[in-house]
Amino acid sequence: MLIQELREIQRKHNGHIPEDELHALANRLGKSKADVYGVASFYPEFRFEAPPKVEIQICTALPCYMKGAEQLYRAVVKLAENREDVEVHRCPCLGRCDGAPALTINENVHAIYGSREMYDRCQGSAGPGFPRGRAAAVPHRSLWGGGGEVWDAA
Ligand code: FES
């Protein structure tokens, strides 16, 4: 119930929960503000400030970690340097372990299908372009190639 209310408030406010709405919710539910804030701040999906234009979350839980998520995270952080409209975070499991490493670009979940090629691209040794095979369906070529397409399209 509380989680659903928080989601609805966040949806209404374009991706964040304003403080006055948090307090109003606490009053409405007969709970303390600290209780409501404690729940909301526990879950990384809730924000208290307006989100950036592009928010990328990279799963670094064990299955994704084993498929190179940490290297992917570092590569994406490097690409996002000097971009005030882009935030990159690590996050827990996104439920796409089958295609690890997984990430979200704003609300959309993508699975990269980890491979040696993905790792090479993070290292810059395989050149720009899509990985082959199933990963070709993943729409973020510029994560590997270093262009701006992923930011502009998100
Ligand atoms: S462990 Fe990364 S999506 Fe599940």
Model pLDDT, residue 32: 96
Long-range own/partner contacts, residues 115-119 (CB < 8 A, 24 or more apart): 118/67, 118/68, 118/72, 118/144, 119/68, 119/71
pLDDT higher than threshold 90 for residue 56: no
**What was the pLDDT predicted at 118?**
52
- CB of 93 sitting under 6 A from ligand 1: yes
Tell me which of 33-37, 52-56, 125-129 is least confident: 125-129
Q: Report whether pLDDT(84) > 60.
A: yes
Once rounded to an integer, what is the mean pLDDT over residues 74-80?
84
| Amino acid identity, position 50 | A
| Cα 100 from Cα 67, distance rounded (Å) | 6
Q: Which residue has the tokens 């729409």?
A: 139
Ligand 1 pocket, residue 65 CB under 6 Å: no
User: What is the CATH number assigned to the segment(s) 54-126?
Assistant: 3.40.30.10
Which element (helix H / strand E) includes 55? strand 54-59
Mutation probe of ligand 1 site: the residue of 70, 73, 94, 112 with most atoms within 8 A of C-beta? 94
Ligand 1 near 109 CB (within 6 A):
no
Sheet strands side by side (includes 86-91): 86-91, 54-59, 102-105, 108-111
Domain ranges of the chain: 2-42, 54-126
| pLDDT above 50 for 12 | yes
**Bridge partners for 103 per DSSP:** 58, 110
Lowest mean pLDDT among 14-28, 29-43, 55-69: 55-69
* pLDDT average, residue stretch 36-61: 90
For the Cβ of 59 lying below 6 angstroms from any atom of ligand 1, the answer is yes
| pLDDT value of residue 78 | 84
Report whether residue 91 contacts ligand 1, using a CB cutoff of 6 Å.
no
Report, as an integer, the average pLDDT of 80-100: 87
More confident residue, 140 or 61: 61
